Homo-oligomer: A and B are copies of this chain.
Amino acid sequence: MLASSAQLRLRVGDLVGNRAVARRAIEAAAQAGARLVVLPELAASGYVFTDKAEAATLSEDLDGPTVTEWMGLAAEHDLVIVGGLAERGAAGALFNTAVVIDPSGLRASYRKAHLWDFEKEIFNAGDARPPVIETDVGRIAVMVCYDLEFPEWVRLAALAGADILCVPTNWPLAPRPVDERPGEVIRAQAAASTNRIYVIATDRCGVERGVKWTGGSVIVDPDGFPLAGPVSADEPALLLADIDVACARTKALGERNDVLDDRRTDLY
């Protein structure tokens, strides 16, 4: 199964323009033969809001224009699409949400549970575990950006049967030593190998209101090595990689070890 990660250049506040950028990326992925497309976090709205009021004007319902368009594209191209938007909740609450859409429609929505920096002023944190959805291309789990830095959260997805963990992200560029990969990529690699799952993290490129994005999109295999990426460039990119979900369904390391069964559940 060909999977893809679509690193995008987006503009905060430009709902119509961003939808078009995402649509073109989804169509390009489909044309390349991909059956799964992962888009960035808050791909509909952009990320660096001035305040909660602005974020509210850029939020959508889960039957709004973004999800509706992605549902149409998933059905038209026989795709699974995972991507992020600002979700309008009840009573003025906003959520940093990612959706899983397949040809049958909206399969799951997930609200980011670990909020980063200024998000704490804007979004409510989700209270539900990362969903794991049976699709035609495998069991798809989803979480958002900083969620991936919590090994406990990744473990829950793996224990729930995830084959492919899809992680829409917006990684602000952090300083790092020359010749080192972004720390976020390292942690995505470790998340994959400690659970023997695939991880697809899709980042952004460009600069938004002074925040430069890392452009570190990557597709990681269950051994923890990149199949495609990290992009490591400040430009849009479409990563493609062949994924065999059977590789994520054995957790064995040799004859006597198993990354899940070897946990000392008597001790933690």
A residues neighboring B (CB under 8 Å):
113-114, 116-118, 120, 125, 127, 129, 146, 149-153, 155-156, 176-177, 180, 183, 186-187, 189-191, 193-194, 223-226, 254-257, 259, 262-264, 266-268
In whole angstroms, how far apart are the Cα atoms of A153 and B155 in the complex? Answer: 13
Q: Which residue of B lies closest to A172 (CB)?
A: B254
- B190:A186 contact, CB within 8 angstroms: yes
Given contacts A117-B257, A118-B256, A257-B117, contact A152 B263 (CB under 8 A): yes
Mostly, the A contact residues are loop
Chain B contacts for A225, CB-based, 8 A: 176-177, 180, 183
- B150:A256 contact, CB within 8 angstroms: no
Contact of A187 among B153, B224, B254 (CB under 8 A): B224
- B150:A264 contact, CB within 8 angstroms: yes
Contact of A268 among B146, B152, B180, B189 (CB under 8 A): B152
Given contacts A117-B256, A176-B225, A186-B186, contact A150 B263 (CB under 8 A): yes
